[in-house]
Amino acid sequence: QKEVEQDPGPLSVPEGAIVSLNCTYSNSAFQYFMWYRQYSRKGPELLMYTYSSGNKEDGRFTAQVDKSSKYISLFIRDSQPSDSATYLCAMNPGANNLFFGTGTRLTVIP
Amino acid sequence: KAGVTQTPRYLIKTRGQQVTLSCSPISGHRSVSWYQQTPGQGLQFLFEYFSETQRNKGNFPGRFSGRQFSNSRSEMNVSTLELGDSALYLCASSGAGGMNTEAFFGQGTRLTVV
């Protein structure tokens, strides 16, 4: 079993929809949780990071962490075609090595 | 402010050869981490260097090695290449802190082994 599980999708939604992306993890030592966006042929771009359980909002993006359930989510409101990309969850136990999910490919249809 | 620069962007090598990839971190960043990305395994941590010292290492064979120079630039080397080493190799830089919470990635080097 991988330490971080993420539904690979693909996920297609109409423009303006709310998107929900999720990851589960098994390692209780994970302390920091991140979401990256990766466009084709580009490196991952950091979108959000959180430490404690709860919600963190940044514009159209909301990151949610539930440590008791070992479950994290990223919500995208009013999705745009430019949001079409692969979304990667990542987490670490406090050291400088990130554990990534396999990524969810999202397509927002105009 | 310049981002993370990786060179070269693309490489084609033959089985058994060795390869060296380069990463220049964001100015002022002292931590450089390397990751391998493949369709089947996703992103996997190779190793991290901080102030010229390897601080963390992932579960990769000894054929994968790296180093960091005094200007924080880093190189990774893969010896005796195998077909399974074909991947996108990503470098991430972060500041002096102990956590990789704000790791900035380069565009990667796509290595193809034939």
CA distance B26 to chain A (A): 14
Judge whether A100 is closer than 8 Å to chain B, CB to CB. yes
B1 pLDDT above the threshold of 90: no
- Judged against a pLDDT cut of 90, whether residue B7 lies above it is answered with yes
Using CA atoms, how far residue A103 sits from A10, B1, B9, B44, B77, in Å, is 10, 28, 22, 12, 27
Residues β-bridged to residue B34:
B47, B91
Judging contacts by C-beta atoms under 8 Å, the chain A residues touching residue B107 are 41-43
| Contacting residues of A for B35, CB less than 8 Å apart | 98, 100
What secondary structure does DSSP assign to B25-46, as a single string?
PPTT--EEEEEEEETTTEEEEE
- Could you tell me if A43 lies within 8 Å of chain B, comparing CB atoms? yes
Q: How far is CA A40 from CA A48, A62, B32, in A?
A: 19, 23, 23
pLDDT tens, per residue, chain A with 110 residues: 789 999 888 999 999 999 999 999 999 989 889 999 999 989 999 999 888 788 999 999 999 999 999 999 999 999 999 999 999 999 988 777 889 999 999 999 99
Q: Assess A45–B contact: CB distance below 8 Å, yes or no.
A: yes
